Structure 1
C-alpha cells in the first residue's frame, strides 16, 4: 500500500481500531502538546495507518508477546520477553509514517502506554538546540530506554491520580521527553546549549507573581513561559538555574504553603482548601501535603 493510501488516524480515533478500549487516556484532561493512552489489548490487527503525531509505545507488565511491525517497505517481528520489561524497551513511530501492527502470538493481554507528541512542539523544542533545522525522528522498532520508560510510568500515574490537575506536570515531562527524543532518536543529533545564567530578577519576580495570582487555577507551563516570551524548554532550564527546583516542584510547594496558611487561619474544610489551592481533589492534596510536611492536613491543623 502506498503512503497516500494509508489511513490517517489521530490518537483520539485510534481506540476504535483497537481490540479493547483504553483503560486511561488524557484526551479530556486538557493536555496540549502530548497525549497519553493506556491500553490492555487481547490482540492487535491494525492495517496500514499513519498518525499526524509522533507515537512512542512503552510496553509494560510482564507478559511475553510478539507483534509484526510493517513500515518502510518491510515487516519484522518484534518480541517482548521478561528481560525487555526490566530494561525499559520502547518503540518509536514517527509522525506521518505508514505502518501496520499485528499480534502474532496468543496472549491474555498486551499492556502498553502510548504517547502521542505534536510535531510542532518537537520543532519548538528543537529551536533551542544548536542545529534546529530538519526535525525528523527515526523509526525505532525496539530500543531499551529507561528514561522514556520512567517518564511513561510517571505520567500515567499522575494522570490516574490527578486527572485534569496533571496538565502542568504533563507539560514539564513533555518538554523533557521532546529534548531526549531530539538528542537520541532524530535524523540529526540535536545538541542543546548549557545555560549558565538563570532568569533575571525582574523575570523571576514576574513568574512568581503570576504563579501566586493563578495558584488555584489549572496552570500550564506554556502560559507561564509565554509571560516571558520564551519557550517551555528555555524557561524550565533558566527557572531551575535560578531557584534550584523545577517549575512543577515550585508550583506544588507554593500550593502547599498556601494550604498551610488557610488551614491555620480559616475553618474551611480540607476539601475546599485543596480545591482553592489548585489541587485536583483531597487525595491529591493529601499526597503532596504529607510529602512536604510529613503529616496529613488534619494533623497539621491541630498543631
Structure 2
C-alpha cells in the first residue's frame, strides 16, 4: 500500500487555502532568500502540508486564542493569552516537515506574519560557522523570541514604507535572522568566529567604491560581498566593525549625500533626484532625507 504524501504548498500558493487574501506580501518586491506575508483571518483550518522554505510565524493581535497544531500525525494544543501576544511569541516549522494548523476558539480575527526563509541561504550562512556540517532547524511552538519578533515587524514596516526599495534592508535582516536561527534553533549549535578587527583598508575602500559606483541601482548585499570575495554574513559583520554603522545605513547616507548635491541644481525635480540616487520613490526619498538631514528635500533646496 502506498503511503499518502503530504501536500507541498509554496508560500505563493498558501493564500489560496485561507479565507482572506494577505494584507501585505513581499512577493513582488524582489527580495532574496526571504519572503514575508502579513495575514488577518477570521479562522484557520489548514490540513497537513509541507513547505520547501523554513517558516517563521510571528503572532500578532491582542485577542486570546487556542490552536491545534499537527506535525507528521502528532497533535498539540497551544493557548495564546494576551501576555503571550505582547511578549513576542514565534513558531518555527523547518522546511519539508509536514504541519497543519486549526483555530479552535472563536475570535474576531487572527493576525500573524509569515516569514519564509530559503534553506540554501541558511546553509550558506552556516558555512561561516565553526560547525557547518549539519543545518537542521528544530520544530518550535510558542517560543518567546523578542529578536525574531522585532525583525519580523521591521521587515513588515520596511515593506509597507519602501516597497520595491526595501530589498537591501531585507538582505540585512535575513542575514542576521539566519545567524540567530543557527545559534538558537538548530539541532547542532552553530558558533560564529568573532573578529575584533573590521575589514582591511583595501577591502573597506573596495566596498565603499562599489557602493558609490552603484548608488542609483537596486544593489544587494550579495552583490557587494561577491565583489569583495567574502560571505554576506561576514561582510555585514566586518563592515559595521569598520564604520560603526550597518551597510544599509551607509548606503542610505551615501544616497542622501548625492541627493544634496543634485538638489542644488534648480532644474532637477525632486522625483528625478530620488530615482537617480536609488530611492524607490519620492516618499521613500523624503523620509530618508529627513531622517539624515532633519529637513525634507524641498526645505533643504530653499535653504
Q: Which runs of 5+ in 1 are unaligned?
A: none
Partner of 2:30: 30
Residue 264 of structure 2 aligns to a residue whose secondary structure is helix
Q: Give the CA RMSD over aligned residues.
A: 1.3
Structure 1 CA distance for aligned equivalents of residues 264 and 120 of structure 2? 46
Distance verdict in 2 for CA 1:3–1:59, change over 3 Å:
farther
CA contact (8 A) 1:52 1:95 kept: yes
**Structure 2 unaligned blocks of 5 or more:** none
Is the 1:3–1:98 contact (alpha carbons within 8 Å) kept by the matching residues of 2?
A: no
Partner of 1:87: 87
Q: What is the rounded CA distance, in whole Å, between the counterparts of 2:192 and 2:5 in structure 1?
A: 38
- Distance, in Å, in 1 between the alignment partners of 2:266 and 2:168 is 28
Does residue 229 of structure 2 align to residue 229 of structure 1? yes
Question: TM-score by structure 2 length?
Answer: 0.97
- Per-residue deviation, residues 3-23 of structure 1 (Å, max 9, x unmatched): 861101111111111121111
Partner of 1:273: 273
TM-score, scaled to structure 1: 0.97
Does 1:144 find its partner at 2:131? no
Count of paired positions: 302
Say if 1:113 and 1:127 are closer, same or farther in 2 by CA, change over 3 A.
same
What secondary structure does 1:265 align onto? Answer: coil
| Counterpart position of 1:14 | 14
Q: 1:256 to 1:4 in 2, by over 3 A?
A: farther
* CA positional deviation for 1:73: 3.6
Q: Deviations over 1:43-89 (max 9, x none)?
A: 11111100010000001121221111001442111222110122100
Runs (4+) off by over 4 Å: none
User: Map of 1:1-303 to 2, 5 A cutoff?
Assistant: 5-303=5-303
1:162 and 1:3 map into 2 onto residues whose CA distance is 46
- Cα distance in 1 for residues equivalent to 2:70 and 2:288: 44
